């Protein structure tokens, strides 16, 4: 079965603390993983994708095929990072497969 699991509904940290948002996936094919973010009163938007191996707003995520995980990390959280984060898995061949989203994790960064 194709599935994305985000085990934490809410993650609360203090400003300056490290952040790790967990994402695990289940997929028999070659996975492509994404993190989408929704800030308060804004639209859902792409944060980063594993194939780019990029760092966006200080966030990074590494695909671990052995552990079937794609955790999102940031060494020092900022208050503006408070948002809802969704991990997504693209299934199918090429770049046209549908996205399967996890249930999302709310990140709350306290001052």
Residues found near another protein in the complex (CB under 8 A): 4, 6, 9, 43-46, 49, 86, 88, 90, 92, 95-104
Can you tell me the distance from the alpha carbon of 9 to that of 106, in angstroms, rounded to the nearest whole number?
6
Minimum CB–partner distance for residue 23 and another protein (Å): 11
Inter-residue contact 81 to 107 (CB < 8 Å): yes
Nearer to another protein, 60 or 106 (CB): 106
Nearer to another protein, 74 or 102 (CB): 102
The tokens for 37 are 């973010």
Nearer to another protein, 30 or 96 (CB): 96
Phi and psi torsions of 43, nearest 5°: -85, 160
Q: Which DSSP category does 59 fall into?
A: B
Minimum CB–partner distance for residue 86 and another protein (Å): 5
Inter-residue contact 35 to 20 (CB < 8 Å): no
- 3-class DSSP state of 91: coil
Nearer to another protein, 57 or 76 (CB): 57
Minimum CB–partner distance for residue 90 and another protein (Å): 6
Minimum CB–partner distance for residue 94 and another protein (Å): 8
């Amino acid at each position: 079965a194709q599935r994305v699991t985000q085990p934490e509904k809410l993650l609360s940290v203090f400003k300056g603390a490290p952040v790790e948002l967990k994402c695990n996936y289940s997929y028999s094919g070659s996975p492509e993983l994404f993190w989408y973010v929704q800030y308060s009163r804004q639209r859902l938007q792409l944060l980063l994708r594993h194939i780019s191996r990029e760092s966006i707003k200080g966030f990074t995520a590494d695909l671990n095929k052995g552990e079937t995980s794609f955790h999102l990390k940031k060494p020092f959280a900022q208050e503006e990072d408070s948002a809802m984060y969704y991990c997504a898995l693209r299934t199918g061949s090429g770049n046209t497969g549908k996205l399967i989203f996890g249930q999302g994790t709310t990140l709350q960064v306290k001052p």
